[in-house]
C-alpha cells in the first residue's frame, strides 16, 4: 500500500516516519496547509492508496488571535484533502481532538455525544471533522488527547525542562484525560488506513487515548518519579492557572468503538512514558503502580 502523509516534523509525523519509512511525507515546503487546494493537488499528483493527515495548527492559545488561519489549516485543508481522496476512492485518516467537546461532567465522551468546543482551536478542528465527513469518501477521524513523545513540544518535555531549575511546581489537578503516546497514535493511523482500504464501511469518527485517565498533576508526578527528579508537586485548580484559551476539565474519551471496529485498544501511557524517557536519555527510579 503506497501511503501519503501530510506532516514531517510533528510528534505523530515523526513516529510515522519510523513506522512507515517507505511512505511519502509532505512538509510545509511541499504542501502548505494554509493553501488547501495545493494539498488536494498533491494527493491527485501522488495518487497513493491512502492518505494520513498528521499536520495541523496546534498553537492552542495563539489560535484565539489567529482563528481564521487555524480554521484554514485545521478545517479547510482537511476538507480539500478529503474531497481529493473521495475522488480517487481512497481513505483519509485525519487526527482530531477532544477539544471539540465542552469539557463538562466526568463521563468519558463517546463519538456520538454533542460537540461544543470552548476555544478557537477546538472550533477549527471541528470544522475539519465536518469537512472530512461531508466529502463522502472513505475516512477515519481519530480524536485523541494529551499527545506526548520524545519529539517536539509536549508536557513531558516541559516538565523535564522545568525540573532542571525548580524543586517544586504547582500543576493543574482538575483537568482529567488520557495521555496518549504519539507512537501509538501513528500505529493506530496506519492500522486504520489499511482496514479502511479493505472495508470503507468502517468510515467514521473514533476515539483513541492512553489509559488510565489522570490529572495533569498525576501525570507530572509520574514523569518525575520515572525520571528520578525530586520535585514536589502541588495541585491547583484551572482557575488559578488562566490561559488565553479555555481548556476542558473533562478530556476523558470512551474508546470502545475503536476497539470494536478496528481491534485497537487503549495504550498504557505509563509503559510508553518509560520508552520516551529512555529516548530522551532520562533514567531514574521506577514508578510504583
Q: Give the contacts of 160 (CB within 8 A, at least 6 positions apart).
A: 223, 227, 229, 280, 282
Told to judge if 121 belongs to the known catalytic residues of this protein, a careful annotator would answer yes
Q: Distance of CA 136 to CAs 32, 55, 261, Å?
A: 23, 21, 19
Query: How does DSSP assign the chain, residue by residue?
Result: --EEEE-SSSHHHHHHHHH-TTSEEE-TTT--TTSHHHHHHHHHHH--SEEEE------TTGGGT-HHHHHIIIIIHHHHHHHHHHHHT--EEEEEEGGGS---SSSPBPTTSPP---SHHHHHHHHHHHHHHHH-SSEEEEEE-SEE-SSSS-HHHHHHHHTTT-SEEEEE-S-EE--EEHHHHHHHHHHHHHHHHH-GGG-EEEE---BS-EEHHHHHHHHHHHHT---EEEEE-GGGS--SSPPPSEE-B--HHHHHHH--PPPBHHHHHHHHHHHTT---PPPP-
Single out the catalytic residue among 57, 99, 121, 206.
Answer: 121
Answer for the pair 195, 202: CB distance below 8 angstroms, yes or no. Answer: yes
Q: Which residues are catalytic?
A: 121
Amino acid at each position: 500500500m503506497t501511503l501519503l502523509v501530510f506532516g514531517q516534523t510533528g510528534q505523530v509525523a515523526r513516529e510515522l516516519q519510523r513506522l512507515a519509512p517507505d511512505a511519502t511525507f509532505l512538509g510545509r515546503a511541499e504542501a502548505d496547509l494554509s493553501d488547501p487546494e495545493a494539498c488536494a493537488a498533491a494527493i491527485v499528483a501522488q495518487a497513493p492508496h491512502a492518505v494520513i493527515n498528521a499536520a495541523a495548527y496546534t498553537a492552542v492559545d495563539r489560535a484565539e488571535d489567529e482563528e481564521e488561519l487555524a480554521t484554514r489549516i485545521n478545517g479547510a485543508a482537511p476538507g480539500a484533502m478529503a474531497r481529493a481522496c473521495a475522488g480517487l476512492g481512497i481513505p483519509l485518516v485525519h487526527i482530531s481532538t477532544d477539544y471539540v467537546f465542552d469539557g463538562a461532567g466526568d463521563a468519558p465522551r463517546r463519538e456520538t455525544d454533542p460537540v461544543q468546543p470552548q476555544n478557537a482551536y477546538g472550533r477549527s478542528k471541528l470544522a475539519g471533522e465536518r469537512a472530512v465527513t461531508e466529502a463522502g469518501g472513505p475516512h477515519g477521524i481519530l480524536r485523541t488527547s494529551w499527545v506526548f513523545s520524545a519529539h517536539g513540544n509536549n508536557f513531558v518535555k516541559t516538565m523535564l525542562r522545568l525540573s532542571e531549575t525548580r524543586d517544586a511546581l504547582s500543576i493543574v489537578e482538575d483537568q482529567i484525560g488520557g495521555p496518549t503516546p504519539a507512537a501509538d497514535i501513528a500505529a493506530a493511523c496506519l492500522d486504520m488506513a489499511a482496514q479502511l482500504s479493505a472495508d470503507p464501511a468502517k468510515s467514521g469518527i473514533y476515539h483513541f487515548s492512553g489509559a488510565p485517565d489522570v490529572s495533569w498533576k498525576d501525570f507530572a508526578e509520574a514523569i518525575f518519579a520515572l525520571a528520578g527528579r525530586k520535585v514536589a508537586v502541588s495541585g491547583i485548580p484551572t482557575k488559578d492557572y488562566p490561559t488565553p484559551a479555555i481548556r476542558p476539565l473533562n478530556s476523558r474519551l470512551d474508546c470502545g468503538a475503536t476497539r470494536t471496529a478496528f481491534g485497537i485498544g487503549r495504550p498504557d501511557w505509563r509503559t510508553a512514558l518509560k520508552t520516551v524517557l529512555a529516548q530522551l536519555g532520562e533514567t531514574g527510579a521506577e514508578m510504583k503502580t
